[in-house]
Amino acid sequence: MTAPRIVVIGLGATGSAALYHLARRGVHAIGVEQFDIGHDRGSSHGPTRIFRLAHFENPSYVALMRSAHVLWRELETSTNLKLLHTTGIVKIGPAQSGLVRGTITASRDHNLRYETMDAATLMRRYPSYRIPDDFIAVWQQDGGFIEAEAAIAAQLRLSTDAGAQVRTNEKVLAVKPSRKGIHIKTDRDLIEADGAIIAAGPWLGALLPQLHLPVRVTRQTVCWFEPYDAAQFAADRFPVFLLETQYGLHYGFPAYGASGVKVAKHHHLDEVVTPETCERNVSARDVAAVRAPLSQYLPAADGRLLDAQTCLYTMTPDETFIIDRMPEFSHVVIASPCCGHGFKFSPVIGEIVADLATTGSTAHDISRFRLSRFG
């Protein structure tokens, strides 16, 4: 039997994982990326992303994260690379905040280990913090960060080693499914295939206008600050953190490599944009929104700005993923683990969409991510 010919559109975190899982199954897989690998116009660029098992957003994510954790370790073994760094993770906020309460609920529901600390205990353990008495912290030892761009490159390298084709700087102009297959028109070619996985991030809606997907693209800013005492923020001494305050929800990383302390605001300034018109330059207003909680809660990290980047979120109304087969054309799979917290899931999302593209079903529970929820 001839192996199916499946095209993956978009080679960021999800697309690279999907291509790898297809290729390792012997599928004739082709990956198409409109820019260079690791480009900075979408949602997957930059050196690091947070890894966390407990999801305050919804406890149902934990089962997927456990599967992703196994696959991250398998990827490290396959590549002989260190991609997942376990630093621990601490989530800080008022006792009744969504961050704290949601983390504890997810941990209890799924028997995840955690430790709660009052403000004084947190500051004794991590002297960089200045936390008010009515805040508490939830510490978990299994959190950390992923080397993001290195992970994408590793999956694509394994994909090509297994026979996949990677085509870069080739823009997909139209996707035309039929009952028998799919025609993909690019600015260089017309590709005919048996099926496709569309992992185009913020370009998803433009590629599938007939679905009228209720997604909006928002602009985010990430900053790196020079800490006043770099030793306090070393990866072996300072954990990844999430911090909920009157300024919103911020997250950050220990200093790693030659960079400073990475900090961002989740949902930043809520600017709705398009990938083509997004302002890529970082303004003083952007930096102020990211820096806002540091002087009060983490002053040792409130040093000079070393670098800043923009990236994009693709948001659904319920702030969770889209993973499903296209109505009427089940050989077309849509993969959008969006809303700003999908990177850590990418190995298992890649496995899921490879399942859907090759067998039509998956053993993973993706009921929350189906297109039917939009009506």
Q: Which residues, at least 6 apart from 163, have a Cβ–Cβ distance to it below 8 Å?
A: 23, 26, 28, 29
Catalytic residue among 21, 41, 49, 91: 49
Sole residue written with tokens 């890649």: 350
Q: Amino acid letter at 191?
A: I
Sole residue written with tokens 């679905």: 211
CA distance 142 to 86: 6
Catalytic residue check, 262: yes
Sheet bearing 182-186, strands edge to edge: 172-177, 182-186, 190-193
Catalytic residue check, 250: no
| CA angle (263 as vertex; 261, 266 as ends), nearest 5 | 165
Catalytic residue among 278, 311, 338, 339: 311
Q: Are 214 and 317 in contact (CB under 8 A)?
A: yes
**How many other CB atoms are there within 10 angstroms of residue 2's CB atom?**
6
Catalytic residue among 14, 24, 344, 358: 344
CA distance 217 to 5: 31
Q: Amino acid letter at 283?
A: S
Catalytic residue among 267, 364, 368, 373: 267
Percent helix, strand, coil in the chain, to 5, is 30, 30, 40
Catalytic residue among 21, 24, 48, 250: 48
Catalytic residue check, 180: no
CA distance 103 to 138: 8
Q: What is the three-class DSSP state of 22?
A: helix
Catalytic residue among 21, 41, 219, 262: 262
Q: Which residues, at least 6 apart from 97, have a Cβ–Cβ distance to it below 8 Å?
A: 244
Sheet bearing 84-86, strands edge to edge: 48-51, 144-147, 84-86
Using DSSP bridges, classify how beta strands 329-336 and 261-265 pair: parallel, antiparallel or unpaired: unpaired
Catalytic residue check, 267: yes
Lookup: tokens for 329:
């054309």
Catalytic residue check, 49: yes
CA distance 102 to 173: 41
3-state DSSP of 84-110: EEECCEEEEEECCCHHHHHHHHHHHHC
Catalytic residue among 21, 24, 45, 55: 45
Catalytic residue check, 186: no
Catalytic residue check, 185: no
Catalytic residue IDs: 45, 48-49, 262, 267, 311, 344
